[in-house]
């Protein structure tokens, strides 16, 4: 759901400290994960939709259905979530990023809040930042710009330092082709901060210049939107996650394939990967083993592989080769995952339905 950019992409090569342990990879051998291990789980106080790692403290912050922010130390032997503040949003928190020394959250209450991560003090609050629910936020890699998207179908760019709205961008229909309210679910910055990509319910991706808002590319992923015209007469799906490759050449789009019974998240989890310059689709991946929405995507540093998290009732974490579209590793992880952040190039934390999981990636060779 949220698209946080502050966590570094997994490095193409392992760190020196990891080399010193049992990792057989060398600096000349790119790390290719072959196994996912859930090391620990942490009970969270509510359904959790978004998370960010506060770089100065190493703590992980998360937000969700209880409208507040919580944090825990993933390195602790028994991580214990604590409330950041008594102050809260007035509805679900759906986006959370770390920008320098502050955290910024966005939520269904249409507000954006700047937080002091140490004291819990609200530094700035913009109520009515959008006219409808804020679905996701993202911060530029240099921490100067905040992008937000909402069900008013607007994309807005804010100055992190002042909170001023720099760009207020349209480009999406307010309603689906079937006359119902549409939704704008995902936003992400490119690694160099020059572009943003957004994705809506009906499968439309807009790639824009992050400075001017000019649309540079339009990509359609209509399979991710299921409209049931006969049995149930409503829809499900939409683009739920986006990721630029580190070199800015590729864009990955996540969601769910066509759904038969839209009462449930029973569609195959779905990825599509495009070349941005031509719009050519390089990969179209549907996974029938783990169904549901792909809620978070992240490329490896060398763009050799792509990590996807999501789920139906259950959660999954999958890693796909971007060279041939094959599955490299996959694991059931608790219940439906909404977000993850990388702690190192081989460790990460996921959050989902009232649970966080601490996860280790191992190279395929490690598992032999």
Partner 1 sequence: MSHSGLQRVEVVGPLSGIQSRRGFLSGAALGVGGVLAADMRSVNGLRAEEIAGELRRGEKHVILLWLAGGASQLETWDPKPGARTGGPFGAISTNVAGIQVSELLPKLAQRMHLTAVIRSLNTKIADHGRGADLMERGRLDDPGLRYPDLGAVAAKELGRLESTVPDYVSLYTSTEGRRKGTSGFLGARYAPLFLAENTAPPNSALHERLTAAEHQDRAALRDLLSKRFAAEHRSNTVGSLNSAYQRVQGMMASAGLFNVEQEPAEVRARYGPTQFGEQCLIARRLVEAGVPFVKVARAWWDSHGQNFETHLELCADLDHCMSVLLDDLQERGLLQKTLVITLGEFGRTPGINASLGRDHFASAWSCSLSGMGIRGGVVHGATDAEGHTVKDGEASAADLFATILQALGIDHTHEYMVGSRPTPLADFGSKPIQAVLA
Kindly tell me which of 133 and 299 has the beta carbon lying closer to partner 1. Answer: 133
Contact status, residue 10 vs residue 31, Cβ threshold 8 Å:
yes
Calpha distance 89→113 (Å, rounded): 8
Place of tokens 């549901």: 292
Kindly tell me which of 232 and 268 has the beta carbon lying closer to partner 1. Answer: 232
C-alpha 232: how far from chain center: 29
Residues within window 35-74 making contact with partner 1, judged by CB under 8 A: 46-47, 65-67
Least distance to partner 1, CB of residue 214, Å: 30
Closest among 222, 229, 175 to 199, alpha carbons compared:
222
Kindly tell me which of 187 and 265 has the beta carbon lying closer to partner 1. Answer: 265
Which span (16-24, 32-40, 180-188, 247-255) binds partner 1, by CB under 8 A? 180-188
179 binds partner 1 (CB under 8 A): yes
Q: Beta-strand (E) ranges in 142-267?
A: 145-150, 155-159, 165-169, 184-189, 195-200, 204-209, 215-220, 225-227, 235-237, 241-244, 250-256
SS3 state at 367:
helix
Please give the structure tokens belonging to residue 228.
């049931």
For the sheet containing 204-209, what is the strand order?
184-189, 195-200, 204-209, 215-220
Residues 6+ apart with CB under 8 A from 134: 94, 95, 106, 107, 108, 110, 111, 112, 148, 149, 150
Here's the x/- map for partner 1, 298-327, by CB under 8 A: it reads as -------------xxxxx------------
Here's the x/- map for partner 1, 235-274, by CB under 8 A: it reads as xx-------------------------xxxxx--------
Least distance to partner 1, CB of residue 6, Å: 25
SS3 state at 224:
helix
Which span (52-60, 215-223, 227-235, 280-288) binds partner 1, by CB under 8 A? 227-235
Here's the x/- map for partner 1, 5-34, by CB under 8 A: it reads as ------------------------------
Kindly tell me which of 284 and 331 has the beta carbon lying closer to partner 1. Answer: 331
Residues within window 94-153 making contact with partner 1, judged by CB under 8 A: 108-109, 133, 151
230 binds partner 1 (CB under 8 A): yes
Contact status, residue 97 vs residue 71, Cβ threshold 8 Å:
no
Kindly tell me which of 289 and 326 has the beta carbon lying closer to partner 1. Answer: 289
Residues at the contact surface with partner 1, assessed by CB under 8 A: 46-47, 65-67, 90-92, 108-109, 133, 151, 178-181, 183, 230-236, 262-266, 292, 311-315, 335-336, 352-353
């Amino acid at each position: 759901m949220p698209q946080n950019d502050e966590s570094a992409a997994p490095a193409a090569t392992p760190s020196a400290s990891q080399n010193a342990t049992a990792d057989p990879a060398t600096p000349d051998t790119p790390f290719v994960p072959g196994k996912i291990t859930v090391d620990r789980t942490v009970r969270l106080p509510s359904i959790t939709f978004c998370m960010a790692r506060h770089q100065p403290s190493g703590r992980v912050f998360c937000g969700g259905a209880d409208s507040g922010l919580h944090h825990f130390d993933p390195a602790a032997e028994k991580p214990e979530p604590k409330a950041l503040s008594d102050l809260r949003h007035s509805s679900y928190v759906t986006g959370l990023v770390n920008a320098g020394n502050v955290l910024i959250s966005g939520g269904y209450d249409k507000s954006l809040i700047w937080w002091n991560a140490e004291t819990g003090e609200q530094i700035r609050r913009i109520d009515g930042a959008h006219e409808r629910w804020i679905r996701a936020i993202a911060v530029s890699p240099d921490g100067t710009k905040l992008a937000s998207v909402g069900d008013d179908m607007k994309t807005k760019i804010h100055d992190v330092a002042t909170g001023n709205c720099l760009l207020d961008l349209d480009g999406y229909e307010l309603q689906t082709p079937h006359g119902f309210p549409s939704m704008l679910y995902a936003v992400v910055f490119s690694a160099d901060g020059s572009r943003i990509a957004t994705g809506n319910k009906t499968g439309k991706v807009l790639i824009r210049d992050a400075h001017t808002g000019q649309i540079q590319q339009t990509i359609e992923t209509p399979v991710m939107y299921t409209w049931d015209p006969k049995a149930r007469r409503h829809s499900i799906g939409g683009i739920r996650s986006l990721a630029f490759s580190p070199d800015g050449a590729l864009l990955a789009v996540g969601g769910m394939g066509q759904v038969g019974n839209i009462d449930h998240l029973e569609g195959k989890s779905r990825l599509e990967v495009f070349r941005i310059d031509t719009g050519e689709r390089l990969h179209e991946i549907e996974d029938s083993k783990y169904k549901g929405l792909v809620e978070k995507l992240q490329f490896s540093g060398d763009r050799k592989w792509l990590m996807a998290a999501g789920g139906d009732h259950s959660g999954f974490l999958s890693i796909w080769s971007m060279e041939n579209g094959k599955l490299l590793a996959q694991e059931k992880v608790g219940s439906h995952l909404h977000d993850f952040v990388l702690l190192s190039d081989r460790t990460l934390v996921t959050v989902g339905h009232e649970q966080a999981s601490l996860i280790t990636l191992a190279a395929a060779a490690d598992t032999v």
